[in-house]
Structure 1
C-alpha cells in the first residue's frame, strides 16, 4: 500500500500532522450547544439561533477561502485565518452573551476559510494522479484527531469547565498557524499561487473567469449539485438521527458509540481504499459512494434497533470513504490553473451546505411525517449517485469514441478504451 503514497510530497504529510493535532483540540463545535444552554444559560431556541448563525459563517468561509487564496496565496490566507480564528476562540470565556452572537459566526467563518485554504494548498502542492491519496491522508489525520477529541473534551468540560474547551481550541488553531508557517515554504507557496493565478486579474479576464471555467466543465456543476443534496442527507446523522434513536428507546450513549463506529471504519479503510481505487473512474466511485449513503438511510426504514443503526452507520461510512476524498480530488483535477482555490471553495461550500440546510429541513419533515424522512433521504442520495454513475458511463463512451476516431485518423485499428478512462 505504501507505493500508492510515494508521489505525495513531504509537506503534505507535515500538514496532515498539524491537522491531526488541531482536530484533537477542535472539539468546541461538538459541545457548543451544551455550552450555550448550560453555563451560558440560554434557552434552546436562543442556542439554536446562535449555532445556526455560526453554521452560516462556516459555509460562507468555505465558499470564500479559496477566492482569497487565488488572489493572495493559499499559505498566506491560511495563516491569517488561523490566527484570527484562534485568537477569537481564546476570548470566548471573556465575552458577554450578546457578543457571542457576533463572535461565533466570525470564528466559524475563519474555520471555513482555513478548511478551504488547506484543501487548495494540498491541491496546488500534489501532482495530478496522486491527489486522491493526498486528500485521503489529510482526511484520515482529521478523522483520527476527531476520534480522540470529543472524549477528551468531555473530560475537560466535566473536570474543569467548558471555558477551557474554547481556550484549548484557540491554542490549537494558533499552533496550526505556526506549524503551517514552519513546514510550508513561503517562497514555494507564493510561487504556486502566482503561477496558478496566471499573472493577476488581466490573465483571469482573458480566461473568462470561474463561470466560464464551469461552463467548459459541465460535469463539475452536476457533481456540486449532487454533493449538496447528499450533504443535506448526510448531516441528518447529527440532528434527527439521535432524536430518532431516543424516540425508540436508545439513549445518548448508544448514539455516541454508533458515531464512534463511523470514525473507526474511516480510519481503518479510507487509506487502503484511496490506493486500491486510484485508477478507477472518479465519477463512478463518487456515485457508488452516494448510493451507499442512500442504502444506509434505507436501513432505518426497518426501525431503530441496534442492528439497523449499526448497519446504517457502516454503509454511511463506506459511502463517505468513497465519495468525499474522490470528489475533492476530482474538483481539484478539473480546476484551471488560475482558479484551483475557487474550485476548492465551491466544493468546500456545497459539501458543508447541509450544516445549515440539513437540521431545519430534516427536523420539519420528521415532525410532520416521521415515516417519510428516511425513505426520502435514501431516495435523494441514491438518485444523486445514479446520476453520477450515468454521467460516468457517458464519459467513458465519449472517451472510447475519441480513441476510436484518433486511431482511425492514424490509419490503424482502434483498441478498446481502458475501463477507467473518464477524461479527468
Structure 2
C-alpha cells in the first residue's frame, strides 16, 4: 500500500502545469452544474408531466450527442483551446435563455441547443490532456481530472438542492456564471495543444477511420449500453427518491455522496487496477453499475437508496478512469479529438435515451427498470471480456 501511495505521488509530481489548470476549471464548471440534476424536478414544478420532462432531458442529450461530434471535429480542426472557450461562452448564454422559456416546444428546442453548445468542450479537454500527458501517466491524469470534476460534483448538488428550494432561477444564473469562469481560465492559461499533421482524408473520411476501428466499435457499444443505466441517476432515480417520500435536498445529498467517494478513493484505486489489462476493471465496473441500480428493486428506504448510490459509484470508479485513456491509446494523434468525441458520445447519447426509457419503465413498473439495469450491466461486461480476449491475441498496450 505504501508503494502505491509513493507511486501515486511520483506520478502527480510529473503532471504538467496545464493539466492542473484544466482540473481547476473543470472543478469550477462541475460545481456549477446546478441545472441538469434538477431539470426534471424543475419542469414538473412548472406543470409539465414526468414524461414531458423526460423528453426535454432527452433533447438535452441529443444536443450532447451533437456536441461530441462537433467538439471532437473542432478540436482536431481549430484546436483544443479554441473549442473549449467557444463552448463555454455560448453554453452560458444558452443556459440563461433556457431559464426564461415556458412553452413546452421551446423548452425542448432550447434544451437541445444548450446541450449542443455547453458540452463541446469535453472532447477538446480530453484531447488536450492526451496531447500534454505521456501515455504511461494518462490513466492517472484522467483520474485526476475526474477527481476535480467530482470534487465539484460533491458540493454542487447539495448547494443546488438548497438553492432549488428557494429559487430555480438562481440555479440557471449560477450555472451560467461558473461556465463563464471556466471559459475565461481556458482562454488565459491553457495552451493550444499539440499540432499534428492532418490526414489527407476529407472530414467524413476521418470519422470513417474511427468508425472502422474494431476495438473502438466494441468499446463504444459496451459503454453506450451501460451509460443508459448510469444516467438513470439524473432522471428516474430522482423520481424514485422523491416518490419514496424524500425531498430534493436528500436527492442532492445522495448525488453528492458519489463525488465524496470518488474524491477519496478513485485515484488510489487506479494504482491497483493498472496492474491488469484495462478491459477487466472496465468490464467489472460496468457490471457493478448495473448491480447498484438493481438494489433499488429490493427497497426504497434511505439506507437502500444510499446503498444503491455507493455501489453505482464503485462501478464508476472501476471503469471511468480508463474510458477516455483507452480511447486515447487507440487514436492516431491527429484524430484524438474525434476519438474522444466518439467515446464521449457513447456516454452522452444516454442523456437522450436514458430519461425517456427510464421514466417510461419506472411509470409502468419500476421492477423492469431496476432488474433490467442489472441485465444491461452484465451485457456490457461480457463485451469488455470479449475485447480483452481479442486484444490479447495481439501485442497488448496499456493506456496508462
State the TM-score, normalizing by the size of structure 1.
0.83
Match of 1:133 in 2: 140
Gaps of 5+ in 1: 400-420
Shift of 1:238: 2.9
What is the rounded CA distance, in whole Å, between the counterparts of 2:164 and 2:294 in structure 1? Answer: 36
Shift of 1:264: 1.6
2:207 matches 1:210: yes
CA contact (8 A) 1:235 1:355 kept: yes
Q: How many residues align?
A: 390
After superposition, residues 311-390 of structure 1 pair within 5 angstroms as 311-390=307-386
Q: Does the C-alpha gap of structure 1 residues 72 and 389 become closer, same or farther in structure 2, counting only changes over 3 Å? A: same
What is the rounded CA distance, in whole Å, between the counterparts of 1:93 and 1:294 in structure 2? Answer: 34
What is the rounded CA distance, in whole Å, between the counterparts of 1:93 and 1:291 in structure 2? Answer: 37
The Cα RMSD (Å) is: 2.7
What is the rounded CA distance, in whole Å, between the counterparts of 1:92 and 1:207 in structure 2? Answer: 32
Match of 2:183 in 1: 177
Shift of 1:422: 4.7
CA contact (8 A) 2:158 2:252 kept: no
Deviations 1:50-70 (A, max 9, x none): 433223212221232111111
Shift of 1:116: 2.0
Q: Which has the higher contact order (CA 8 A, sep 6+)?
A: 2
CA contact (8 A) 1:60 1:112 kept: no
Match of 2:11 among 4, 7, 10: 4
Q: Does the C-alpha gap of structure 1 residues 247 and 164 become closer, same or farther in structure 2, counting only changes over 3 Å? A: closer
Q: Does the C-alpha gap of structure 1 residues 231 and 206 become closer, same or farther in structure 2, counting only changes over 3 Å? A: closer
Match of 2:48 in 1: 43
Shift of 1:280: 2.5
Q: Does the C-alpha gap of structure 1 residues 85 and 248 become closer, same or farther in structure 2, counting only changes over 3 Å? A: closer
What is the rounded CA distance, in whole Å, between the counterparts of 2:352 and 2:34 in structure 1? Answer: 19
Q: Does the C-alpha gap of structure 1 residues 361 and 90 become closer, same or farther in structure 2, counting only changes over 3 Å? A: closer
Match of 1:405 in 2: none
Shift of 1:209: 2.7
After superposition, residues 99-248 of structure 1 pair within 5 angstroms as 100-159=107-166, 161-186=167-192, 189=193, 192=194, 194-195=195-196, 198-199=197-198, 202=200, 204=201, 209-215=206-212, 217-245=213-241
CA contact (8 A) 2:76 2:334 kept: yes
After superposition, residues 284-303 of structure 1 pair within 5 angstroms as 284-303=280-299
CA contact (8 A) 2:135 2:329 kept: yes
State the TM-score, normalizing by the size of structure 2.
0.87
CA contact (8 A) 1:291 1:385 kept: yes
Deviations 1:147-206 (A, max 9, x none): 2123333444455x43333222222222211101111134xx3xx1x31xx23x52x359
Shift of 1:107: 2.1
Match of 1:70 in 2: 76
What is the rounded CA distance, in whole Å, between the counterparts of 1:350 and 1:363 in structure 2? Answer: 20
Match of 1:281 in 2: 277
Match of 2:254 among 253, 258, 262: 258
CA contact (8 A) 1:156 1:164 kept: yes
Q: Does the C-alpha gap of structure 1 residues 31 and 174 become closer, same or farther in structure 2, counting only changes over 3 Å? A: same
CA contact (8 A) 1:63 1:345 kept: yes
Of 41-50 and 279-288, deviating more is: 41-50
Partner secondary structure for residue 129 of structure 1 = helix
Deviations 1:373-414 (A, max 9, x none): 322211210221122124314433544xxxxxxxxxxxxxxx
Q: Does the C-alpha gap of structure 1 residues 280 and 214 become closer, same or farther in structure 2, counting only changes over 3 Å? A: farther
